[in-house]
A = this chain, B = another copy of it.
Amino acid sequence: MAGVTAPARLDPRVVRSRRKVIEAATELFLRDGYVATTMDAIAAAAGVSKRTVYNNFDDKDALFTEVVLAASSTAEAFIADAVAELARPDDLRRALATVADALARTATSPRVVQVRRLIIGEALRFPVLAAGYYRAAPGAVIEALAAAFAALADQGRLHLDDPRVAADQFAYLVVGSLIDRALFDGHGSDPDPAELRARAAEGTATFLARYAVPPS
A168 lies within 8 A of B172 (CB): no
Q: Which residues of the other chain, B, contact A207 by a CB distance below 8 angstroms?
A: 206
Number of interface residues of A (CB under 8 A): 50
In the complex, A206 Cα to B114 Cα: how many Å?
A: 31
B183 lies within 8 A of A172 (CB): no
Mostly, the A contact residues are: helix
A180 beta carbon closer than 8 Å to chain B: yes
From A10-18, A76-84, A120-128, give the one contacting chain B: A120-128
Q: A35-B35, A205-B210 are contacts. A126–B169 as well, Cβ < 8 Å?
A: no
Fill in one digit per residue for A169-188: 1 if any B CB lies within 8 Å of its CB, else 0: 10111011101110111110
Residues of A whose CB lies within 8 Å of any CB of B are 31-33, 35-36, 114, 116-128, 130-131, 133-134, 138, 142, 165, 168-169, 171-173, 175-177, 179-181, 183-187, 199, 202-203, 205-207, 209-210
